[in-house]
Amino acid sequence: RSYRIAVIPGDGIGVEVVPEGLRVLRRTAELYGFTVETEQFDFASAAYYQAHGEMLPPDWHETLVGFDAIFFGAVGWPEVVPDHVSLWGSLLKFRREFDQYVNLRPVRLLHGVVSPLRDRTPEEVDFYVVRENTEGEYSSIGGRIFEGTDRETVLQETVMTRIGVDRVLRYAFELARQREKKHLTWATKSNGISISMPYWDERAETMAGQYPEIRADKYHIDILTANFVLHPDLFDVVVASNLFGDILSDLGPACAGTIGIAPSANINPERTFPSLFEPVHGSAPDIAGRGIANPIGQIWSAAMMLDHLGEHAAGEAIVAAIEDILVDGSVAKTPDLGGSATTGQLGTAIAERLQAP
């Protein structure tokens, strides 16, 4: 087995944590008997923007489309390029043009992490957030009229298509089917948003009918956020529209530890296009260049990438090594975890802790 991975470190701490992700990835490949061929790209960064006036080269699509996956660090350096330009000029283009319509984030409290939810155990906090990543509330249909007058009016439409809603629900139900609890929750707000959300509910109910083995329920988004904090043990797979999913997919990982740990995946389930794996955090200009960023979010993203590529055991081995290091008091951690280790030291410790099959 051999996989071709496009590596895009991006900006700030992206450049510091990506090498640690690759270190662990290469070690895992050796132990599990597959090969990873990587090619690194300097676009999708502020430096590239300074040199070219664009975030990406014109042929980025052809350049990346043949890879099995994209391993991404973080993009953004507000001093050089405004955030909306860097994000819309790179990451959001990948998501849209590679039809990565699922944003997947595990909410999993690892052993050795102090959860902001007091007294919660890893057994109680272990679920996924599945966010619709291409339509819904984030449409560009709308506009302003009567600008500058007291009748100024702004409108932005939500777009839900049957294909768009069904495909993300399908992904979530399939994920729930593979899990032990076989429980799916969908986020809604059909008591307040009276056209699009009842449609979302209707499609979810129809889909639930096709999966009798899955226990499916719905929560309105307001009480759902409260329950993420108060009763995280209620959830297994949570699926949501673009906006609600955006909120849940930050809230969930935040409940499960520091921002430096959480991974995410932007997935094209049909595999027509490469999927993209990246930590939840950004480029962290406030700590960049000091070698103290936590590499775990990037390393865990490598585990999600292997899982997507079909190397499930190798992916689990990475998560196990991370957890093992987190609980081991004799191993120094990065400052965000209360230690004094460098990015490289923590990455190396995890790579060395990997267990062969």
Separation between Cα atoms, residue 149 and residue 105, nearest integer Å = 43
Taking the complex as a whole, the smallest distance from the CB of residue 64 to ligand NAI amounts, in Å, to: 16
Taking the complex as a whole, the smallest distance from the CB of residue 348 to ligand NAI amounts, in Å, to: 16
- 137/246 with CB nearer Mg ion: 246
Q: State whether residue 194 is helix, strand or coil.
A: coil
Taking the complex as a whole, the smallest distance from the CB of residue 123 to ligand NAI amounts, in Å, to: 26
Which positions from 186 through 215 interact with ligand NAI, judged by CB under 6 A?
none
- 204/267 with CB nearer ligand NAI: 267
Separation between Cα atoms, residue 127 and residue 174, nearest integer Å = 14
What DSSP state is assigned to residue 87? I
Q: Does 286 bind ligand NAI (CB under 6 A)?
A: yes
Q: Does 13 bind ligand NAI (CB under 6 A)?
A: yes
Residues 54-93 vs ligand NAI: string with x where CB under 6 A? --------------------xxx-x----x---x---x--
Beta strands, E only, the chain: 2-10, 35-40, 69-74, 102-108, 126-132, 142-145, 153-156, 183-188, 215-220, 237-240, 263-267, 275-279
Which positions from 322 through 351 interact with ligand NAI, judged by CB under 6 A?
336
Distances in Å between the Cα of 55 and the Cα atoms of 11, 39, 66, 67, 137 are 12, 18, 20, 20, 25
> What number of other Cβ atoms are within 10 A of residue 65's Cβ?
13
- 57/335 with CB nearer ligand NAI: 335
Separation between Cα atoms, residue 309 and residue 275, nearest integer Å = 10
- 87/193 with CB nearer ligand NAI: 87
Amino acid at 287: I
Stretch that binds Mg ion, among 38-46, 221-229, 245-253, 340-348 (CB under 5 A): 245-253
Helix (DSSP H) and strand (DSSP E) numbers for the chain: 12, 12
Amino acid at 39: E
Q: Does 260 bind ligand NAI (CB under 6 A)?
A: yes
- 285/344 with CB nearer ligand NAI: 285
Beta strands, E only, 60-193: 69-74, 102-108, 126-132, 142-145, 153-156, 183-188
User: HSE-up of 51 (CA within 13 Å, CB side)?
Assistant: 9
- 263/269 with CB nearer ligand NAI: 263
> Site for ligand NAI (CB under 6 A): which residue of 105, 131, 189, 281?
281
Taking the complex as a whole, the smallest distance from the CB of residue 131 to Mg ion amounts, in Å, to: 9
Q: Does 126 bind ligand NAI (CB under 6 A)?
A: no
The entry of ligand NAI, Mg ion, none near residue 269 (CB within 5 to 8 angstroms by kind) is none
- 102/207 with CB nearer ligand NAI: 102
Q: Are 36 and 25 in contact (CB under 8 A)?
A: yes
- 293/302 with CB nearer ligand NAI: 293
Separation between Cα atoms, residue 34 and residue 1, nearest integer Å = 5
Q: Which residue shows structure tokens 């921002």?
A: 259
Separation between Cα atoms, residue 129 and residue 176, nearest integer Å = 11
The entry of Mg ion, ligand NAI, none near residue 287 (CB within 5 to 8 angstroms by kind) is ligand NAI
Q: Does 297 bind ligand NAI (CB under 6 A)?
A: yes
Taking the complex as a whole, the smallest distance from the CB of residue 250 to Mg ion amounts, in Å, to: 5
Q: Does 96 bind ligand NAI (CB under 6 A)?
A: no
Taking the complex as a whole, the smallest distance from the CB of residue 332 to ligand NAI amounts, in Å, to: 14
Q: Which residues in this chain contact ligand NAI in the complex, by CB under 6 A?
A: 13, 17, 74-76, 78, 83, 87, 91, 259-260, 278, 281-287, 293-294, 297, 336
